[in-house]
Structures are given as C-alpha cells and as structure tokens.
C-alpha cells in the first residue's frame, strides 16, 4: 500500500531509511529528508507501473493546465492536469506540483497526471489554505541581506556599505554596455547562495546570448531560467511571467525569494512587440501600453508583513544608442527603492568595481544599517567627489582591509564618522581633491596623528608653505589666524600690508589647521595675488 506525503513527512529519519531500503533506493543515506521522501514516492509510483513526475504549473484560459518540467518552457515532456484537480486543490500558476503520471495513450500527446502528491513540497490539503499574494501587506525592507563573502569580492562589499540590499528590495542596476553587469550579477548570486542558503534564488536571463546562459548555469548555484535572443518575444514574456508566478507562490508559503533579472529593458522591448497597438507612441517608438506588465513584474518585489519576501534586482540598459532604452529607464527610474549605477569610464580605466558611488544608494537605508555604520557611511558620502583618483584611492583602501568592519574602523582612526570631525576634515582625510594646479592631493594614504585625527598638513598636497620671496626680500604671502579661528590671507582687494612673519611660524600654523573649518589657499594662488597688488 502506498504511503501519502503527509504520513512520510511525519515519520522519523530512521523509519524513512527502512522504507528506502525496502524499495532498494541507492545511496539513500546521503539524501536529505525532503529528497528521501520524494525518492520513496517515486519508487512507489514505479512499483505500481506509473511514473512520479513534477513540474511548474501553467494554467491556460480554458481551465486546464500543464506542468512544465523543463526550464519553464513548453516541451514534449509536459504533463496534462485536468481542471477538476486544479479546482479541488486550489492550484495556481507557478505551483510546483508533484504526482503520479501515466504515459500518453495512442491518440494523446502528453503525459497525464493521475494523483497530486505534493504542492510546493507540502501536502496538497494544507497548500489550499494559503493566502493570495495580492492580499499580503507590503512593507519596507527591514532585514539586510549580507553580501560580503571574501576580501577580494569588492563589488558586494561596496554594495553592503553604499547600497545595502534588504529582503523585499526592488532594485535597478543601471548599466551601460561593457560595464560589468553580468559579473556583478554573478557575484551577487554567489553571495546570496553562500550567506543565505535558505533563500530561494532565481536568475532570469531574457534575450541573452546562449554562451552567457551556459556560463551563468555553471557559475551560480541557484535556478537559472533563460530565453535567449533567438527565441520569439512571446517566449520571453511567457518565461518571465511564469518565473514571477513561481516566486509569488513561494512567498505565499512564507519563504524569502530573490530574482536576479537581466534585463528589464529587453523584457519591455518584448512586450512592446507583443501588445496590441494603442495608436499612441512615445519617444523612441515604444507604445505606452507596453509598460504595464513589466511594471507589474518589477512592482511585485516587496517585504511581506505576514511573512516571506520577494526581492527583485533587475538591470536597466543605458547609453546603448537607442532612444527606446533611455525611455524605458526613465519610466522605471522612480519605481525602485534601490539604484546601483555602473560607470563605463571607470570600467574603461580598468577600475573595478566600476560603481558610481555618488549616484548609487538605497531608500530608507537607516532601516537596514546600524546607527554606528550609518554615521560612518554618511561621513563617507560627505567626503566624496567626482574624480577618478578618489575612487581609486577608496578602492585601494578597501583592498587593504580584510572586511568592511576593518575598513570602517580604519576610517574611525582617520577621524571620519567618529562624531569629532567636521565635513571638511572628513573630505581632507579620505578624498583626493585636486589642487589649483590640477595635481591630486595624497590624503588617502596619510597617517593619523597621535590623537587619532589626521593633520591637515598631511591631507593637503605636499607643496611648500610659503612662496618665493619678492624683489623686496619679503615673503609673498603669510597665513595668519583671525579671532574667529579661521585662516586668512592678504589680498589685493583689501590692499593691506604684507606680514613679515617667518616661514617656520607659517608652517606651525598650517600643521594645526586641521582644527579649523577651512584650509588656506595654495601658495601659487597667493603669490599671484601679491604680484597683482605690487603692480
């Protein structure tokens, strides 16, 4: 007599081993409990002359459906399931249905499902009691996904700091061509499978090259579903929607699901070719009605109050030379709560990760980061500038540290994010700001002083403190302290007399300028002012 799934799940592992031995299941001792249960169900079906098969359910408009066992696509291995069974167990598109099947008869094309044994790995009776996805309450992401794995994976380490990903995040990875988006998706996928093995991971590739699909399947431990560029647009849409339905069904079972998609731009292009024309056309030749279903896909990402979450990180293509791609990006730009921008100029200079740190970020990041880390991250943002030298120095500092915590501790020693330093001291300690003659300062590698803060003399480019003396034998400029504590220089506008203090006193005043709010101008600029006043 066959044992149903509910009774098998209630049995102990030793009892399952006895059943596996009875059915002569090979290597049953190496299987997990869930795998062992399905192996026993398969053996029971084969013993009765039937087959045990499973697939993702797609319900058609006529009420019946098919189980898609191969890559969510229609094939000759599909299994027919009747409308009565769908109604009996309240089955929905995207459910993973397992059961006993019979081979096709003489005039039939497909296998037939005789008995439903499991729905999404659970008993069919309990699966019918679940909530519907649209009725679940969406919330902001509250639990952070840790992406940092090893010191050499800098992309995920940088994301943990500047664009943290939470469970239920809806993120856009904005990428020009050849900026490294595929490698970034691989790193994110491997980080999730390493740090969070309990998360259900899907990698969805739409309109991609076949060799990239193979590479992704061999590099990622999650489930990779693809529709390559040689497939019809209808195929792209069918695969994407079935993957979304599958993710929704898992969330209804209170599971955490992540979809990494490449790319939302090509999915929107496919919808533009399929939807009936509305008679209106936006710039770039895209129909306004083509945006509804891609937005439904992207908008499904959410954190659920009742339990579970759906996270979607999708790439959006820009700078491709196509006006349509720019319109698609503009349409999706405000819909996400995370944006990660990749910079092609950094990639061309072989600066990796090529992440635009100023433009990347997460909404409500204070819900994902602790107060201590958040203060340091905000101090880093205050010190940022647009120069490539800053990015190189920042990444070098990241490489020199073994973890993000060590990196943040280093910044605290430099006086950044400790609550003692102002914005100007933060920027002088971390950022490589170019001087007036165009040469960048070497502040990143400066050493902290004995009191834990960085002196401004080490943060500024190492040029002489005073310029050459004038023809009268006097120094061209001096640095004096005002009563308010700010450094001031003589200018031609005020036509004041030039001070004759020694260069040693000027150097001593400059070394203490880290306590002040602003730095004095460079000697080159001051000497020009004095020459003008002399003339």
What is the DSSP secondary-structure string of 172-217? EEEE-TTSSHHHHHHHHHHHHHHH-TTSEEEEEEEEE-HHHHHHHH
CATH of domain 5-128: 2.40.50.140
pLDDT at 16 over 70: yes
Give the pLDDT confidence of 296-317 residue by residue, as tens digits. Answer: 999 999 999 999 999 999 999 9
Q: What's the rounded mean pLDDT across residues 179-202?
A: 93
- Distance CA(155)–CA(361), nearest Å, equals 14
Q: Grade residue 417 by pLDDT with cuts at 50, 70 and 90.
A: low
Residue 472 is predicted with a pLDDT of 41
Q: What is the mean pLDDT of residues 185-191?
A: 94
Instruction: List all residues 6 or more positions away from 200 whose beta carbon is below 8 Å from its beta carbon.
Output: 222, 247, 250, 255, 256, 257, 258
Between 143 and 4, residue with greater pLDDT: 143
pLDDT in tens, 426-469: 444 454 444 444 444 444 444 444 444 444 333 333 444 444 44
- What is the pLDDT at residue 490? 37
Higher-confidence residue of 1 and 359: namely 359
> What's the mean per-residue pLDDT of the chain?
79
| Res. 209: pLDDT tops 50 | yes
Contact 201, 192 (CB under 8 A): yes
Residue ranges in 439-535 assigned as alpha helix (H) = 456-459, 503-511, 523-534
pLDDT at residue 69, rounded to an integer: 85
Res 503: pLDDT: 39
CA–CA distance from 336 to each of 228, 305, 327 (Å)?
26, 19, 16
Lowest-pLDDT range of 145-149, 161-165, 385-389: 385-389
Contacts (Cβ under 8 Å, ≥6 apart) of 341: 174, 175, 355, 356, 359, 360
* pLDDT value, residue 469: 41
Average pLDDT over residues 409-432: 56
pLDDT at 139: 94
Q: Residue 273: CB partners within 8 Å, gap ≥ 6? A: 233
Residues of the chain with CATH 3.40.50.300: 139-413
| Residue 521 pLDDT greater than 60, yes or no | no
Q: Which pLDDT band holds residue 1 (cuts at 50, 70, 90)?
A: low
Q: Is the pLDDT of residue 410 over 60?
A: yes
The segment(s) of the chain belonging to CATH 2.40.50.140 are: 5-128
Report pLDDT for 365: 92
- Candidates 116, 155, 121, 148; CA nearest to 346 is 155
User: Which tokens belong to 37?
Assistant: 């249960």
Beta-bridge partner residues of 66: 58, 80
Q: What pLDDT, on a 0 to 100 scale, did the predictor assign at position 416?
A: 61
Asked whether the beta carbons of 199 and 257 are under 8 A apart, the reply is: yes
Instruction: Tell me the CATH number for domain 139-413.
Output: 3.40.50.300
Task: Mention every residue, 6+ apart, whose C-beta is less than 8 A from residue 448.
Answer: 413, 414, 415, 454
């Amino acid at each position: 007599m066959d044992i149903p799934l509910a009774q098998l799940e209630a049995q102990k592992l030793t009892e399952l081993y006895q059943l596996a031995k009875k059915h002569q299941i090979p290597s049953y001792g190496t299987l997990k409990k869930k795998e062992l249960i399905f192996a026993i169900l398969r053996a029971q079906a084969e013993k009765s002359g039937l087959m045990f098969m499973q697939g993702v359910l797609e319900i058609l408009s006529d009420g019946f459906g098919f189980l898609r066992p191969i890559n969510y696509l229609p094939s000759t291995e599909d299994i027919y399931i009747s409308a009565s069974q769908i109604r009996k167990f309240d089955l929905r598109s995207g459910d993973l249905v397992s059961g006993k099947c019979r081979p096709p008869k003489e005039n039939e094309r497909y296998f037939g499902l005789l008995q439903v044994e499991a729905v999404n790995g659970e008993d069919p009776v309990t699966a019918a009691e679940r909530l519907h996805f649209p009725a679940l309450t969406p919330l902001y992401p509250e639990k952070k996904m840790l992406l940092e794995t090893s010191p050499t994976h800098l992309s995920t380490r940088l994301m943990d700091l500047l664009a943290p990903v939470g469970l239920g995040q809806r993120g856009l990875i904005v990428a020009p061509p050849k900026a490294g988006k595929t490698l970034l998706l691989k790193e994110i996928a491997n980080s999730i499978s390493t740090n969070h093995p309990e998360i259900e991971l899907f990698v969805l590739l739409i309109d991609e090259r076949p060799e990239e699909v193979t590479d992704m399947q061999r590099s990622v431990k999650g489930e990779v579903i693809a529709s390559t560029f040689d497939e019809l647009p209808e195929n792209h849409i069918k695969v994407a929607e079935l993957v979304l339905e599958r993710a929704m069904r898992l969330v209804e079972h209170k599971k955490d699901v992540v979809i990494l998609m490449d790319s939302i731009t090509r999915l929107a292009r496919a919808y533009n070719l399929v939807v009936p024309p509305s008679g209106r056309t936006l710039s770039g030749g895209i129909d306004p009605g083509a945006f509804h279903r891609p937005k439904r896909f992207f908008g499904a990402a959410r954190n659920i109050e009742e339990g579970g979450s759906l996270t979607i990180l999708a790439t959006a293509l820009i700078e491709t030379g196509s006006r349509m791609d720019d319109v698609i990006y503009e349409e999706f730009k405000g819909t996400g709560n995370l944006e990660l921008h990749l910079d092609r100029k950094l990639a061309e200079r072989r600066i990796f990760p090529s992440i635009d740190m100023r433009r990347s970020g997460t909404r409500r990041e204070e819900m994902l980061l602790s107060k201590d880390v958040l203060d340091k991250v905000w101090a880093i943002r205050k010190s940022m500038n647009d120069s490539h030298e800053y990015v190189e120095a920042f990444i070098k500092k990241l490489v020199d540290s073994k973890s993000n915590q060590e990196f943040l501790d280093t910044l605290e020693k430099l006086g950044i994010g400790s609550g003692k330093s102002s914005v100007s001291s933060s920027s002088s300690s971390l950022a490589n700001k170019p001087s007036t003659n165009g040469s960048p300062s070497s502040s990143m590698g400066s050493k902290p002083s004995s009191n834990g803060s960085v002196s401004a003399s080490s943060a500024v480019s190492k040029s002489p403190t005073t310029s050459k003396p004038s023809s009268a034998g006097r120094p061209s400029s001096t640095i004096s302290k005002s009563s308010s504590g700010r450094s001031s220089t003589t200018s031609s506008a005020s036509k004041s007399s030039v001070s004759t203090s020694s260069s040693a006193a000027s150097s001593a005043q400059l070394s203490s300028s880290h306590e002040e709010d602003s730095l004095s101008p460079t000697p080159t600029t001051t000497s020009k002012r004095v020459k003008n006043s002399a003339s």
